[in-house]
Structure 1
């Protein structure tokens, strides 16, 4: 045999002798690395999503309440903001300056044990002084939540409680998963009856609310059927005792279809080991009429009692990990955990995206007998837009002051 042939045959045998040990070594290393990665993700899942994905920046004062001296100083903010309002009224010899009593916790408010969680989708923290004027006299306990850090000048002048969900999720609209704020609020384990989740641009007419503190309530909801490629929205026809499911026109169904189905798949897997998830799926099937049906609705205002804290944390973590849009995740979670269907809040939300959407005075007084109106941006008040200042100073604040006093027992 030619020496060249013997050389190549020897090299070939050597190569294949080494392949098996290398293959075994590679397999062992892969198993070890996979085990380590799996352990890492299990540990992360145990700690909860908001502790390792987003930094949580916390500024919490005792029991969420501000000192009396700070509450009284809000009167100065109101008078400065609405200076023209007071001057105009005084010219008519009608003294309408707010009584100092409005800025004192000297009444037995029905909301003294409820925390108001005010949530920002974008960091418009300059409106916090106005929000304090509107709600602090009736809600001693207020917690703010939003993206990024809060400016130090706000904390300097207002010693408020604030938590952050870091930055908005990449490739998603601002505040797409802002329900993480309630998850974090529940994790603080504060001594409250429950949390009212309120968007910063929601006008809250709390005096019109018949407040059921033991039950969940939310805005009106619809039911989406994802069993086929084209999503349908279903309602139950009591007369025909059947479900009516036309094709859905709501755009977010298509945008978040994959995320929803992924979340439902996770729920089905976890239902084998989690009683909370198992009950969740059972409630959805019973209330929505079939498998693969979830809820959707406005997620700008809702209330969850503290007794549902653990259930909300567990389910919101799953929906957040799959990046489910807030207007699908929140209504679905609330239907999952509630003992009965959530109470429906009467309110008005403007779906018209013309210039009328940002002109709340146009819709007044159509919504004053309701519990909420959305949107009502406060930024233009800071910028001294005359129409917005008129709405805030001449309509909203006088109504809030009057009803705050009337609700004192």
Structure 2
């Protein structure tokens, strides 16, 4: 930590700190040096809340971001991705009510964080989310692998000894923000505060150290609503190793039996008069908590002293925006998000259960085919670090369980996409397993690339996005060695020129040449914006390098494409421009592919398109194990004339070393 670029490590001494403790390249704030702040007189020297003086020291030195963490934390990466320079991004916003369990969101449904209401532990909340254009959260909590900050009583049921747990969360899971009206238990062990929320770092002194930061978290969240800010949760970039103190279960009844339910109910009902400034609301709520017995009068006095100290340190008071509506972010898409379960918490072994369930699903479907399955077959399967996006031109969502059989072994993260969320929810009631789905307007198959944009906006932490039509049969075994930093596409070029006719009939339709001309004019107008001009110029330059002239276009079959994450922002921008004018899929995708990467760097996907010449009825005969894809393969036939093909030929290819008899 002390060697991170752009950061300064600050360690705060209390009476329990070893007297010989020291570290190079670190600011060490001794008890004597802490006396420069008058607030130090209010905080006992042995208190965990001595951290307050460290926060204050950092603010007084001009810090605009403070990462609040515990001595049990080991960083796995640097912190550059956590501090966002841009003020807006895309991501998931929770669309439920009540209390949010961030551990469930990142793939651990059987545990809950310290400070989470115990009576809510049997509820995993809703799986409903909104894909939104988000302000960067002012408070970010990062979940930690290893031995994270779970409920201490529950911890004792798992580990009666002091041996550390080894829990892992899904590092690819998308970050999530919780809107006003929803609470989550957040701590001081791995939480980042942006400038807009530095006022919130004061830790109460009268509660037990096990709950001081949790109470602060609930108090903070309610006050964030008054300035239009919110809390976000990010996937793991730290590993937590417990020390002996972390396993202690104090006999102090305050520590053992804190119940946040009453506090949460109070905070939901609490109102701040419109006429008050923000810091006046902070003072009012702090006094109300003391009156209600949620903390003591000494904590109210501490907050007052804290506000005074940060004011004289030139910290700028946030502008009040009285809380009225929880939907503070622009809603783009509705989504159902299902986390990928990561570990078996009671023995800390990575589950192969999901892959085994896939095999069981195959054998159940193929009851007339027997298989010899070796354990090495399961172990040999690797999941590429990408998001598979399967798009439906029409809402035939009853086929999703078959798609899960086909691709679930190879891909850990799959997003299904199409129009009509209601149709998906109705169909999903019959699914053996829940799946992730995002709703998007696909215009009957003319603009299904809106699904690719929507999936990218969900903000999974993957190396790329693999877009596949629901009727494209992907031979996934053949892509496992492909470079994830290159575009993959089936290049079958058709050059189209402005003002000229083409034998390709789609060029004469409103979704063809007319839409392309409108998109070009729109891009020219956007290039007047200095922030967007580099993006447009890069697009035009790359097209020219691929022999596509300005104002012209290129088209080709576009039912399968992979785009690396390094092009994500450009791809979202271009896809959204083309969707604005409903440009046809087979123009929009090739324009993006040829406009973000030079052709000689891309990977050509070898496969077969079966056009209207009778070949569509000969899938088993035409399928080649060396091909990447076959299109179209209608899954409506999987239970009838294609069943033998899937059972005898295709399914064995999805797992190495599994052979049909």
Give TM-score, length-normalised by structure 1: 0.70
For 1:8-19, what aligned pairs fall within 5 Å after superposition?
Answer: none
Q: 2:633 aligns with which of 359, 376, 392?
A: 376
Corresponding residue for residue 61 of structure 1: 338
Paired with 1:327 and 1:180, the residues of 2 have a C-alpha distance of 13
Match of 2:642, SS state, is helix
- Residues 47 and 161 of structure 1: CA distance in aligned 2, closer, same or farther (over 3 Å): closer
Is the aligned partner of 1:84 residue 2:368?
Answer: yes
Is the aligned partner of 1:175 residue 2:445?
Answer: yes
Corresponding residue for residue 195 of structure 1: 465
Q: 2:414 aligns with which of 107, 118, 142?
A: 142
**Native 8 Å contact 1:207 1:403 kept in 2:** no
**Native 8 Å contact 2:358 2:408 kept in 1:** no
Uncovered stretches (5+) of structure 2, i.e. residues with no partner: 1-88, 92-130, 134-329, 344-350
Corresponding residue for residue 496 of structure 2: 225
Paired with 1:168 and 1:188, the residues of 2 have a C-alpha distance of 17
- Residues 60 and 101 of structure 1: CA distance in aligned 2, closer, same or farther (over 3 Å): farther
State the shift of 1:119 in Å.
1.4
State the shift of 1:101 in Å.
6.0
Paired with 1:251 and 1:64, the residues of 2 have a C-alpha distance of 47
Pairs aligned (count): 319
- Which range moved further: 306-315 or 112-121? 112-121
Kindly indicate whether structure 1 or structure 2 has the higher relative contact order, using CA contacts under 8 Å at least 6 residues apart: 1
- Residues 202 and 47 of structure 1: CA distance in aligned 2, closer, same or farther (over 3 Å): closer
Give TM-score, length-normalised by structure 2: 0.45
Corresponding residue for residue 320 of structure 2: none
User: Residue by residue, what CA displacement relative to the aligned partner does 1:160-212 show, whole Å, maximum 9, x if unpaired?
Assistant: 211111x443xxxx221111111111111111111111111111123333401
Corresponding residue for residue 271 of structure 1: 527
User: Residue by residue, what CA displacement relative to the aligned partner does 1:234-288 show, whole Å, maximum 9, x if unpaired?
Assistant: xxxxxxxxxxxxxxx2221112111111111212222232211121122223322
- Residues 208 and 75 of structure 1: CA distance in aligned 2, closer, same or farther (over 3 Å): closer
**Native 8 Å contact 2:338 2:436 kept in 1:** yes
Paired with 1:64 and 1:182, the residues of 2 have a C-alpha distance of 24
What is the RMSD computed on CA atoms of the aligned residues?
3.0
Paired with 2:490 and 2:476, the residues of 1 have a C-alpha distance of 14
- Residues 63 and 293 of structure 1: CA distance in aligned 2, closer, same or farther (over 3 Å): farther
- Residues 336 and 358 of structure 1: CA distance in aligned 2, closer, same or farther (over 3 Å): same
Corresponding residue for residue 204 of structure 1: 474
Paired with 1:380 and 1:219, the residues of 2 have a C-alpha distance of 25
Q: 1:343 aligns with which of 588, 603, 608?
A: 603
Is the aligned partner of 1:260 residue 2:516?
Answer: yes
Match of 2:453, SS state, is helix
Is the aligned partner of 1:133 residue 2:392?
Answer: no
State the shift of 1:107 in Å.
4.2
Corresponding residue for residue 561 of structure 2: 302
- Which range moved further: 215-224 or 183-192? 215-224
Higher helix share: 1
Paired with 2:341 and 2:542, the residues of 1 have a C-alpha distance of 34
Uncovered stretches (5+) of structure 1, i.e. residues with no partner: 1-45, 87-95, 232-248
Is the aligned partner of 1:117 residue 2:389?
Answer: yes
Match of 1:144, SS state, is strand
Corresponding residue for residue 147 of structure 2: none
- Residues 65 and 152 of structure 1: CA distance in aligned 2, closer, same or farther (over 3 Å): farther
Paired with 2:631 and 2:420, the residues of 1 have a C-alpha distance of 24
